Amino acid sequence: MVNTQVTLSGLTLSNPVIPASGTFGYGYEFAQVYDINILGSFSFKGTTREPRFGNNPPRVAETASGMLNAVGLQNPGIDRVIGEELPKLRRVFHKPVVANISGFSLDEYAECCARIDREEQVGIIEVNISCPNVHCGGMSFGTSPESAAQVTRAVKAVTTKPVYMKLSPNVTDIAAIARACEEAGADGVSLINTLMGMRIDLKRRRPLLGNVTGGLSGPAVFPVALRMVWQVYEAVKIPIIGMGGVASAEDVIEMMLAGATAVEVGAANLVDPLASKKIVDELPRTMERLGIENLTDIIGGAHHG
Amino acid sequence: MLDTSFEILSNREIAKNTWEMTLRGDTRGVAPGQFVNLKLPGFYLRRPISVCDFDAGSLTLIYKVVGHGTEAMAALPAGETLDVLTGLGNGYDTGPSGPRPLLIGGGVGVPPLYALAKALLREGKAPSVILGFNSADEVFYREEFRALGLEPAVTTADGSLGRKGFVTAAMDVPYTYFYTCGPEPMLRAVYAKSVTSGQFSLEERMGCGFGACMGCTCKTKTSHKRICKDGPVLTKEELAW
């Protein structure tokens, strides 16, 4: 009997599989096809202070072994997430959730995180710092160690729950950003967010996405994500939630060997609504085949010896 | 939503670049105006295709070859098995149709109206049908509608078959309600010309097809709707046109 439990900042998960923000809504669609309580947790749709419609269509495009999305953080805003979505979510999911929070200013991050921190069902706050800073020429918070640290400090000052900073891969040195977050008090880091990309419509000779650029995800990004998890593991002591193209139990184990304590599954949920369930089901068999008794034992295992 | 597998029974070109695929599998929960989402070998995202017809154990889909995905779909042989998500989208509501609903389809917007026509006939209603195409070589399903006892008015943009012009040229018939599906410029023209309430089946590029990714959201008069989950059918009153 293998042990799939992992612990993130004191929060014990029955397994490390966490559907990623933006690919799982608030869980309802998936709860119609399987009991989502088998998941370690899930990260709900990125939430901002104000309701957002998001970007103009088209918002998605296919790529080789993956997809681009430019949804643009469509969400009902923090008031309705707390007032309407969380009460509904509670009926289908009975474990602590990961609350994914986005913002366009330090104030917005702090306000949203302070409010979500008071919600009983929130186990971890995952702070998306890939958004543009409206007070700083639109540069993404996640692209400099200083601004990443500023967001971390602003959020840590107003919260009691574990704060995981979700890092952008569109940077020169992700390890430096992770270190800055750790020094600023982050309890953990989540990586990677999507890689910026684009497609052009050959018939119209125009960018395919309404937003011109979008974020690449899916199996195409897995090796990049794995490399970044590896680098960040070497740079920080706080736990890592690894993600990027994970589509199988083997991918989960690879991510953990690179240094992840838990693993998020993103685009795979959109192609196969049962993807995360299949990974949870596969995991014990895959561990047995690979001679792994305790999943916790393999975290960062590829770095040693 | 049901995640199931279907076996291809036939796959043939029925008009210029327009293919009909029949499949065998579990059609429980499939309704007129809904769509299915097909996983094609070699492609990452699924392909959403509207339901043209179905019975207890088979499903008919009609699709236009417009890119690599649909090209690959056209090359699939009978006997192949596909992973299919069924029961997606809200579908048409036949409740408000009244006794003489008008069905207006353009191009590959025609297929969902076929299953709808059958459903309306079963309810004892007398639908009128307008089918619009670019030219005679793109016309399909005229005979299938006739076999239901309906006589569709056909329009072609170039006048090579039926009345020359767009579907709106044939809307001068009495009707109690309307249902329409087709390219957006056509839908907007129908919206402008229609004299009753009605339902529009819309199209958008989709990520998941079941409401999770927010990839296909559109603005309505009162809210934001996911075409895949809250649509694809929206009422005339909801559209912010």
Asked if residue B227 is part of any domain, the answer here is: no
Residue B6 domain flag? yes
Q: Which residues pair with B21 in a beta bridge?
A: B11, B61
pLDDT at B158 (0 to 100): 97
Same domain (yes/no): B33, B109: no
- Domain A6-51+74-196+216-303: state its class: alpha beta
Residues B119-151 have pLDDT tens digits of 999 999 999 999 999 999 999 999 999 999 999
Q: Which helix (H) or strand (E) holds A135?
A: none
Q: What is the mean pLDDT of residues B23-50?
A: 96
Is the model's pLDDT at A305 over the cut of 70? Answer: no
Residue B241 is assigned to a structural domain of this protein:
no
For residues B62 and B155, state if they share a domain. Answer: no
Q: CB-CB: which of A62, A74, A270 is closest to B208? A: A270
Q: Are A148 and A165 in contact (CB under 8 A)?
A: yes
Range(s) of the domain holding residue B99: 95-200
Q: What is the pLDDT of residues A21-56, one digit of tens each?
A: 999 999 999 999 999 999 999 999 999 999 999 999
Assign residue B179 the CATH number of its domain: 3.40.50.80
Q: Of B28, B53, B88, which residue sits at a domain end?
A: B88
B184 in any annotated domain: yes
Residues of A in contact with B45 (CB under 8 A): 60, 62, 67, 270-271
Which chain B residues are Cβ-neighbours of A32 within 8 angstroms?
Answer: 1
Over chain B, what is the mean pLDDT? Answer: 96
The reply to whether B77 falls in a domain is yes
A73 has a pLDDT exceeding 80: yes
Give the residue-averaged pLDDT of B183-204.
97
The CA distance from B113 to the nearest CA of chain A, in Å, is 25
Is B120 a member of any domain? yes
Beta strands in A48-129 (DSSP E): 60-63, 66-69, 97-102, 122-128
CA closest to A247 among chain B residues: B44
CATH number of the domain residue B31 falls in = 2.40.30.10
Does residue A258 register a pLDDT over 90? yes
CA–CA distance, A28 with B221 (Å, rounded to integer)? 25
Q: Give the residue extent of every domain in chain A.
A: 6-51+74-196+216-303
Calpha distance A45→A25 (Å, rounded): 5
- Are B83 and B141 found together in one domain? no
Residue A202 tokens, joined: 């050959």
Among residues B5, B2, B35, B3, the alpha carbon closest in space to that of B228 is found at B35
pLDDT of residue A102: 95
List the beta bridge partners of residue A3: A294
pTM score, whole prediction: 0.94
Do B82 and B48 fall within a single domain?
Answer: yes
**Which ipTM did the prediction report?**
0.93
Question: Is residue B166 domain-shared with residue B70, that is, in the same domain?
Answer: no
Number of domains in chain B: 2
CB contact under 8 A, A60 and B218: no
With cut-offs at 50, 70 and 90, classify the pLDDT of residue B29. Answer: confident
Among A21, A29, A102, most B C-beta atoms within 10 A, so best to mutate, is A29
Q: What confidence score (pLDDT) does residue B177 get?
A: 98
B128 inside domain:
yes
Q: What is the rounded (10 degree) CA torsion for A287, A288, A294, A298? A: -50
Partner residue opposite A59 with nearest CB, options B43, B210, B215: B215
Q: pLDDT by residue (tens digit) across A78-137?
A: 999 999 999 999 999 999 999 999 999 999 999 999 999 999 999 999 999 987 777 776
